[in-house]
Amino acid sequence: MTDLTNNQAVQPGVALPSDFVALLKPRVMSLVVFTALVGLVAAPGVMHPVLAMISIFAIALGGGAAGALNMWFDADIDAKMQRTCRRPIPAGRIERNDALAFGLFLSFVSVLLLGAAANYFAALFLAFTIFFYVVIYSMGLKRRTPQNIVIGGAAGAFPPMIGWAAATGSFDANALLLFAIIFLWTPPHFWALALYKRSDYAAAGIPMMPVVKGAASTRVQILVYALLVTTLGVVPVFTGLGGALYGAVSLLSGGLFLFLAVRVFLSRAGDDPGPGQAELYQVKKGDRAARDLFAFSIMYLFILFGALLVEHGTGNHSPLPIAFLQGLI
């Protein structure tokens, strides 16, 4: 159990419904909803639109439940970080046990609802995702290893597979491909943030890559992962999952992602500034580059998955002649 050391005094009974909504991490939820929807729409199965909508709602609820349980467990470190100290528990508006009960209740409801609306394979997968995020990532990895978000990133990469499983009752190599794209996208996304929020993470004692291995090593790793994700981002064209629109979008947005990653690599983002003004300027310039990469990485995922949604959702999807891997899947 974690201990709330820097917490403001809890004010009992003042929590509003909006505080409980904040526990669900709505911004993370929106990414979960979007990627799960793409998985569901791009999958070869056919689902009634009403049941599909309820399934997506259930997946969103499950993602929110995982967020609430994460905030329950991480309340002590949230209180120490500028970025998170205004969350409902460290701000003293919601008691930790209330967040725990809320998260557990929503977990059960979301899994049962997905089982009823889609199938129990997808429901089981949603339950596993909540378990992975809360137990494996939050409790196990986050405070122990700089590889926390590399392995923990799997939790954020599961939603398109859950959507796929909801539509088909199983998944194939294309579903795994969607998973792999988000999985490889997660490290450069979070490490870009960690570079310019390094002191925040250090103050909370979270072993993020820039804190443990230093900024220079993190910049190299960001570049490596950026190369991997932008390369993998093009592969759906060869498996037949992505068509012409997807191909163009993945090349253009991948190129920009790579450019921004190279800019961070060449910068001094996250470095300790020396005594001189010129050095401080270079580090701040680097931090801006990291900020740009962080912001664009979110856009990249939305553009990439958005292209799949447009192609499959409007019925305009047709594999390109270069989809030579299609027969193997």
Partner 1 sequence: MSEELELTPEQKKARDQRSKAIGLGLLGFVILVFVVTVFRKMQEMGLESAG
Query: Which of 192, 196, 184, 122 is CA-nearest to residue 156?
Result: 184
Binding segment for partner 1 (CB under 8 A), chosen from 9-17, 35-43, 237-245, 291-299, is 9-17
Residue 71 CB, shortest distance to partner 1, in Å, is 18
Interface with partner 1 includes 12 (CB under 8 A)? yes
Instruction: Pick from 65, 117, 182, 269 the residue near partner 1 by CB under 8 A.
Output: 117
Interface with partner 1 includes 97 (CB under 8 A)? no
Identity of the residue, 116 or 224, whose beta carbon is nearer to partner 1 in the bound complex: 116
Within residues 18-37, the interface with partner 1 by CB under 8 A covers 20
Interface with partner 1 includes 104 (CB under 8 A)? no
Count of residues touching partner 1 (by CB under 8 A): 16
Other residues' Cβ atoms within 10 Å of the Cβ of residue 262: 17
Residue 163 CB, shortest distance to partner 1, in Å, is 17
Q: Which two tokens stand for residue 285?
A: 């310039």
Interface with partner 1 includes 14 (CB under 8 A)? yes
Sheet strands (E) in the chain: none
Query: Which of 18, 138, 186 is CA-nearest to residue 86?
Result: 18
Distance CA 105, CA 34 (A): 23
Distance CA 236, CA 303 (A): 14
Instruction: Pick from 29, 33, 36, 113 the residue near partner 1 by CB under 8 A.
Output: 113
Burial 316-329 (b: 16+ CB within 10 A, else e): ebebeeebebeeee
Residue 99 CB, shortest distance to partner 1, in Å, is 14
Binding segment for partner 1 (CB under 8 A), chosen from 49-57, 195-203, 223-231, 249-257, is 49-57
Report H helices in 74-213. 75-78, 96-117, 120-131, 148-157, 159-168, 173-196, 198-204, 209-212
Helices (H) then strands (E): counts for the chain: 15, 0
Residue 49 CB, shortest distance to partner 1, in Å, is 10
Widest distance between CA atoms in the chain:
64
Identity of the residue, 48 or 144, whose beta carbon is nearer to partner 1 in the bound complex: 48
Interface with partner 1 includes 17 (CB under 8 A)? yes
Instruction: Pick from 1, 50, 278, 328 the residue near partner 1 by CB under 8 A.
Output: 50
Interface with partner 1 includes 57 (CB under 8 A)? yes
Instruction: Pick from 1, 3, 9, 13 the residue near partner 1 by CB under 8 A.
Output: 13
Query: Which of 29, 34, 329, 35 is CA-nearest to residue 182?
Result: 35
Residue 78 CB, shortest distance to partner 1, in Å, is 22
Identity of the residue, 14 or 298, whose beta carbon is nearer to partner 1 in the bound complex: 14
- CA 253: distance to chain centroid? 18
- Determine which helix (DSSP H) or strand (DSSP E) holds 244, and give its type and residue range: helix 244-266
Interface with partner 1 includes 15 (CB under 8 A)? yes
Query: Which of 251, 259, 258 is CA-nearest to residue 322?
Result: 251
Residue 109 CB, shortest distance to partner 1, in Å, is 7
Distance CA 78, CA 71 (A): 8
Q: What phi and psi values does residue 190 have, to the nearest 5 degrees?
A: -75, -30
Interface with partner 1 includes 48 (CB under 8 A)? yes
Instruction: Pick from 4, 10, 28, 54 the residue near partner 1 by CB under 8 A.
Output: 54
Q: Which positions touch partner 1 (CB under 8 A)?
A: 12-17, 20, 48, 50-51, 54, 57, 109, 113, 116-117
